[in-house]
Amino acid sequence: MRLVFTFGLLWMPLDLTAAMESTLPEIPNEFVDIQQVIPNIILDVRYFTADNFVGEQFDGYDAAKVYLTIAGADALRLVQLELNDYGLGLKVFDGYRPQMAVDHFVRWAKDLSDIKMKQRYYPSVEKKNLFRDGYIASRSGHSRGSTIDLTLVSLNSGQELDMGTRWDFFDLKSWPSSTDVGAQQRANRLLLRGVMINNGFRPLEEEWWHFTLVDEPFPDRYFNFPIQ
């Protein structure tokens, strides 16, 4: 939309759309779209869709992209190269997460009446206990830009390796050490864990898919620019 304002004899065109876009926070120079660094990586950005534990697109996810710090993306590229030698690759669900999305999580968790995704994502957990049990928090390491959620896929078929649970499944079965999943599923988790550790990432004991760069460049800073 373009409006024209008159000040005496002076006509001043104003493009409101361009003006609004110019106010959006820019992507910091220290961040990169991981597909620009790892071209053959597979993305499945569920927070851009309704297929997630909330059942709607999250605030701040305006594109099906994944950003990481440059250091995180470089380390992840080495993981992908190592896996490619064995006919495997990575599928990434989430990387950098804007603080506005975390705030969206928190608002949803406080609405105890909204349980439409319970059977798919947290069947054994009462929603009122999500904060207490550590599944939802007001701060996330993802917002620091060097944490990644991912799994392994076959390069030939593109199919995910069986990890025993889906991503973002709130349950003790999602712990990497769980013995409630089969031997092959545990082996697949160990394979993912091993290759990530070997390339500079540390795992999370409660989620088989979650890893953070050991030497993350922003250990105390939480970003809030949108993914676009």
Residues annotated as catalytic are 207
CB 105 within 8 A of CB 162: no
Kind of pairing, strands 31-33 and 207-213? unpaired
CA–CA gap between residue 91 and residue 94 (Å, rounded): 10
Q: Residue type for 130, please?
A: L
In this structure, is the dihedral angle defined by the CA atoms of residues 131, 133, 135 and 141, taken in order, positive or negative? positive
Joined together, the tokens standing for residue 187 give: 């082996």
Query: Strands, E, within the chain: which ranges?
Result: 2-7, 10-15, 31-33, 42-43, 67-69, 88-94, 147-154, 201-204, 207-213
In angstroms, rounded to a whole number, what is the distance separating the alpha carbons of residues 180 and 193?
A: 18
Residue 173 DSSP label: G
104 marked as part of a ligand binding site: no
Annotated ligand binding at 59? The verdict is no
Annotated binding residue at 210? yes
Please give the annotated binding residues for Zn(2+), written as ranges: 142, 149, 210
Please give the annotated binding residues, written as ranges: 142, 149, 210
